[in-house]
């Protein structure tokens, strides 16, 4: 069984987003999440995402340095291949405690895994430190998917490096169909151009949802080239799965 090194605590105080996540992912929540790790692994959604991640690793065809943004309990560590170094960052200590013993057969030796307790909106990694940065179930969901995070990731990637992530689509069945939302969706096509982008921003709830067009736009602002952007329906959300490449 993998038992990673003790967790490093580097970031002093989290941003409001980080603080919110730390407040949600408490000890009892982490315990429930871990209990779900095993059953989830047998399910279709995790299997699909694991295969997606594995295929991205395979595309490199060489040993890679990987960063998992919002790694939680390390649910996807077992999907990684060809890893020479893995860093998992998360703001929740209870989730990271579980990530020291991730589920499944993890091909990365324990001494090559570093777990960092910190807010990825604030914590700095070295420029060009990683070949792959991935984030599942975090951006455009718990923390905004916007130019700020995409630019941070772009800075941490080596040339040719990839950023793979999921977002929640604003048309996901999990997004409450409030009256305001329904009206805004109806109005959008007819709204004059100067107001359209403001209305679209509101539909994306300031980055907490992101559709394909929004993902494309944010990647362009961060100078990352889209490799693939596709919808994916899990049992909970309609997601967007995206892979982008640093030139
Ligand atoms: C739904 S869980 C996903 C965990 C893991 N990626 C998975 O797929 O099982 C979201 C995780 O993101 C972390 N998180 C959210 N915002 C964060 C931030 N700004 N900095 C660090 N971690 C964050 C939470 O603490 C939580 O562990």
Minimum-distance ligand 1 atom for the alpha carbon of 118: 21
**Predicted pLDDT at 96:** 96
Neighbours of 58 (CB within 10 A): 10
Task: Say if residue 12's pLDDT is above 90.
Answer: no
Q: Are strands 130-135 and 113-117 parallel, antiparallel or unpaired?
A: unpaired
Residue 218 Cα to ligand 1 middle (Å) = 20
Closest Cα to atom 14 of ligand 1: 70
Q: Are strands 157-168 and 130-135 parallel, antiparallel or unpaired?
A: parallel
Average pLDDT over residues 153-161: 98
Task: Say if residue 1's pLDDT is above 70.
Answer: no
Q: What is the pTM of this model?
A: 0.93
Task: Say if residue 88's pLDDT is above 80.
Answer: yes
**Predicted pLDDT at 200:** 82
Residue 220 Cα to ligand 1 middle (Å) = 24
Residue 100 Cα to ligand 1 middle (Å) = 15
Domain ranges across the chain: 8-176+208-245
Neighbours of 70 (CB within 10 A): 25
Residue scoring higher pLDDT (40 or 5): 40
Task: Say if residue 110's pLDDT is above 90.
Answer: yes
User: Residues of the chain with pLDDT > 70: what percent?
Assistant: 98
Candidate from 6-10, 37-41, 140-144, 212-216 with smallest mean pLDDT: 6-10
**Predicted pLDDT at 128:** 98
Please, is 200 exposed, middle or buried when counting C-beta atoms within 10 Å of its C-beta (0-12, 13-18, 19+)? middle
The CA distance from 65 to 241, in Å, is 21
Residue scoring higher pLDDT (4 or 174): 174
Average pLDDT over residues 14-35: 95
Find residue 244's DSSP bridge partners: 163, 226
Topology (CATH) of 8-176+208-245: Rossmann fold (3.40.50)
∠ CA 163-29-210, nearest 5°, is 35
Residue scoring higher pLDDT (195 or 95): 95
Q: What are phi and psi of 144, to 5 degrees?
A: -60, 140
Average pLDDT over residues 156-169: 97
**Predicted pLDDT at 219:** 98
Task: Say if residue 115's pLDDT is above 90.
Answer: yes
Enclosing H/E stretch for 152: helix 147-156
| DSSP conformation class of 112 | G
The CA distance from 138 to 141, in Å, is 5
Assign 36 a pLDDT band (cuts: 50, 70, 90). very high
Please, is 173 exposed, middle or buried when counting C-beta atoms within 10 Å of its C-beta (0-12, 13-18, 19+)? exposed
SS3 of 243, please? strand
User: Residues of the chain with pLDDT > 90: what percent?
Assistant: 73
Residue scoring higher pLDDT (4 or 123): 123
Assign 225 a pLDDT band (cuts: 50, 70, 90). very high
Average pLDDT over residues 106-116: 95
List pocket residues of ligand 1, CB cut-off 6 Å.
17-18, 21, 25, 70-72, 75-76, 89-92, 95, 119-121, 136-138, 142-143
**Helices 179-187 & 193-203 angle (0-180, nearest 10):** 150
């Amino acid at each position: 069984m993998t038992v990673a090194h003790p967790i490093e605590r580097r970031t002093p105080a989290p941003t409001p987003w980080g603080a919110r996540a730390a407040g949600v992912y408490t000890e009892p929540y982490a315990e429930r999440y871990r209990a779900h790790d095993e059953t989830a692994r047998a399910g279709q959604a995790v299997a699909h995402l694991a295969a997606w991640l594995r295929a991205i690793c395979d595309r490199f065809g060489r040993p890679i340095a990987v960063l998992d943004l919002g790694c939680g309990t390390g649910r996807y560590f077992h999907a990684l291949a060809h890893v020479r170094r893995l860093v998992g960052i998360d703001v929740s200590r209870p989730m990271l405690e579980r990530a020291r013993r991730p589920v499944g057969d993890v091909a990365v030796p324990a001494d090559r895994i570093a777990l960092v307790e910190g807010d990825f909106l604030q914590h700095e990694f070295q420029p060009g430190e990683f070949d792959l940065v991935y984030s599942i179930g975090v951006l455009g969901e718990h923390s905004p998917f916007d130019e700020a995070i995409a630019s941070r990731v772009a800075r941490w990637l080596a040339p040719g490096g990839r950023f793979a992530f999921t977002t929640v689509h604003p048309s996901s069945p999990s997004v409450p169909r409030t009256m305001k939302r329904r009206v805004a969706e109806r109005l959008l096509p007819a709204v004059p151009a100067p107001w359209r982008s403001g209305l679209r921003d509101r539909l994306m709830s300031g980055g907490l949802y992101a559709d394909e067009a929004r993902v494309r736009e944010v990647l362009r602002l961060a100078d990352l080239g889209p490799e693939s952007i596709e919808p994916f329906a899990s049992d909970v959300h309609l997601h967007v799965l995206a892979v982008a490449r640093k030139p």
